[in-house]
Chain A
Amino acid sequence: MLKYLLEKEFKQIIRDSFIPKLIFIVPIVQLLVLPFAANFEVKNINLAVVDHDRTQHTRRLTEKIISSGYFNLTSEYSSYREALSSIEANVSDIVLEFPLNFTRRLMTDGKSSVLIATNTVNGTVGGLGSSYLSSILSEENINTAVRVVNYFNPHFSYKNYMVPGIIVFLLTIVAGFVSALNIVREKEIGTIEQINVTPVPKGIFLLGKLIPFWTIGFILLTISMVVAWLVYGLFPVGSLGIIYLFAGVYLVIFTGFGLTISAVSSTQQQAILTAFFFLIIFALLSGLFTPISSMPEWAQKFTLFNPVRYFVEVMRMVYLKGSGWADLWPSFVILLLFAAVFNGLALLCYKKSS
């Protein structure tokens, strides 16, 4: 019985003119575009330098800053006021001022200070620019207290960081939202009515719906990982088996979520709006785009109830750090709990509606 249901389901998915494209092309495009677009790396920061010291050392430092690749030297100014007016005119983003006796103080006291003034209209440019600048300077002045080291992602590449997260998101969309729409569609067209009067048990019917989406989810995961490897040269440092194991549980969570939505909605519009509402919350509170540690405390608590958060974390850990079972088992247990809760909820909603 299940075999025929599956046969029918796959035929329908393949024949649909839209779903196969949605399932395969959209994710790949997202994987190619998003890591570049959702990139917090800042380049071409316009730097104005005010050098009161005018020694060989300050010139060398300036050159070093420019050669880092992050900064463009707009101009050198003779006074701070002039430099500041260049910020007001939107010519420069950051002003770096070397005070008089900068080099001498460095030689005698072993440390010295500079003034960095940033235009924070674009907070990211300002914030990152000044932190780049101070990290370059601190390399020179070894006595400076702050020292920034980036472990695991030495070049601080946002692509390395975004790609595993985006893969998680693609799985979420296919397992949760496309499956919800598929079942609601049967309701909307009325075919579920015809199925309900046949001897097909409800459980078998739903299983026939879910297995194709689990299959598609694994295919999608594989394609995404191949794309990540070919395009970004990213290959998980940790084990592939762990990724697939977590993905399996994750797919069960989100098909359960999709089932719940399809049980409570009677049209595809209702389903898509409900799904969209949760998608936004899950996305913004997942740590995919913004680090969880910089969220306010109440929002951090919210992320504890977001399954996306755990899988994003796991994927990043396996991809970049090569974490193994010993580090990841707590997340696995939590994901299992989510699977039980969401599928239990789906069961409850279905019982109620029938």
Chain B
Amino acid sequence: MNDIQLSHINKSYGKIEAVKDINLSVSQGEMFGLIGPDGAGKTTIFRILTTLLIPDTGKASVCGYDTVRDYKIIRNMVGYMPGRFSLYQDLSIEENLNFFATVFNTTVTENYDLIKDIYVQIEPFKKRRAGKLSGGMKQKLALCCALVHRPRVLFLDEPTTGVDPVSRNEFWDMLGKLKSQGITIFVSTPYMDEASRCDRIALIQNGSILSVDTPANISASFSRILWTVRANDMYKLLADLRAWPLTYSCFAFGDKHHLVLKEATDKKNLYGYLQMKEHENVLIDTAKPGIEDCFMALLGDNVK
């Protein structure tokens, strides 16, 4: 059975269409990633699923319950960690956790096994007020509070935004453990490198879903050859590559440029063009496409 089901969801804020005709399904125990840039409509989808927002048209259900009609049941079954830290800053770690346990009619001890691995990391500071915690600790506390009532589905809206790379890695490890306990996880992130941690991902842009598949399949769907190009003057290189009639698309990617050509051509041809443009120390190679390349390619197709 699908734990999350969205069919033909539309939502507008005034004239702005936040999401357009969204169709998604997430099965039980799956870790599903919603990948897209800021403003793509990720948070709107979260708010619809967590019963905070009513869609204009379409039907959404969580654990088989309708988000509009059965919102009270859903609120007992899901855990939500909003993108912004939203626990009580003037209550301590312990008090926040106890408070959220009691509003869900449960106790911390009852579900301690679920949060134990995470809670022990912040337990030494349990008397400290939440407002005085570091970013990583706040995030762990928020996760504990979202888990304290043993939800069946966990919604995490950009949980790793603004968190350092080491803590980000740790956080995804924790999510992996929760998934192994059978909790369905619906997570969003603007970081493409985190996408490979999910079972399946949806790429979203401007309120529309571009593609839904496993990270491996999405990478494999990249049909062209991906070139990486380096030279001394990277800025001029980008401009020249984009100006080349054979170029399909070219993006800066770390210390290299990722280049896709319209038709198969050999390395010499490209090399010759760059020599003509007087580039020095030109290095050309091919690379295995990642999620980001696919996203860029899909985006390009979408625009063209």
Contacts and interface: CB of A to CB of B under 8 A. Distances in A.
Interface of A: 1, 4-5, 8, 11-12, 15-16, 189-191, 193-200
Contact of A190 (B78, B84, B95): B84
Contacts of A16: 90
Interface stretch (B98-106, B160-168, B237-245): B98-106
Given A15-B90, A16-B90, A189-B89, A200 B103 contact: yes
A3 to B, nearest CB: 9
A16 B129 CA distance: 12
A189 B86 CA distance: 6
Given A11-B95, A198-B75, A191 B103 contact: no
Contact of B75 (A12, A190, A199): A199
Contacts of A8: 88, 91, 95, 99
Nearest to A201: B72
6 contacts: A194-B87, A194-B145, A197-B51, A198-B75, A198-B104, A199-B75
Contacts of A1: 102-103, 105
B295 interface: no
A199 B87 CA distance: 16
A195 B87 CA distance: 9
Contacts of A195: 103
B103 A199 contact: yes
| Majority DSSP secondary structure for residues of A touching B | helix
A12 B88 contact: yes
B91 A12 contact: yes
B188 interface: no
B111 interface: no
Nearest to B98: A4
Contacts of A193: 52, 82, 84, 86
Interface in B77-136: 78, 80, 82, 84-91, 95, 99-100, 102-105, 129
Given A4-B103, A190-B84, A191-B87, 4 more contacts: A189-B89, A194-B145, A195-B103, A197-B80
A196 B53 CA distance: 11
B189 interface: no
Contacts of B89: 189
Nearest to A14: B90
A4 to B, nearest CB: 4
Most buried by B among A16, A194, A196: A194
A155 to B, nearest CB: 49
Interface in B183-236: none
A298 B78 CA distance: 56
A135 B223 CA distance: 104
A8 B145 CA distance: 15
B86 A199 contact: no
Contacts of B104: 198-199
B103 to A, nearest CB: 5
B86 A190 contact: yes
B88 A199 contact: no
Contacts of B80: 194, 197
Contacts of A200: 103
B43 to A, nearest CB: 11
B50 interface: yes
B50 A197 contact: yes
B241 to A, nearest CB: 44
A16 B88 CA distance: 12
A191 B90 contact: no
A220 B86 CA distance: 31
A190 B86 CA distance: 5
B76 interface: yes
Nearest to B52: A196
Given A1-B103, A8-B99, A193-B86, A199 B76 contact: yes
A194 B91 contact: no
A193 B82 CA distance: 8
Contacts of B86: 189-191, 193-194
B95 A194 contact: no
A196 B75 CA distance: 8
Contacts of A190: 82, 84-86
Most buried by B among A1, A189, A199: A199
B82 A194 contact: yes
Contacts of B88: 8, 12, 191
Contacts of A197: 50-52, 75, 78, 80
A190 B142 CA distance: 13
Given A190-B85, A193-B86, A194-B86, A199 B72 contact: yes
Contacts of A199: 72, 75-76, 103-105
Contacts of B85: 190
B113 to A, nearest CB: 21
Nearest to B74: A197
B5 to A, nearest CB: 19
A17 to B, nearest CB: 9
By Cβ-Cβ distance, the 4 closest A-B pairs, closest first, are A190-B86, A4-B102, A197-B80, A194-B86
Contacts of B84: 190, 193
A8 B75 CA distance: 21
A139 B91 CA distance: 68
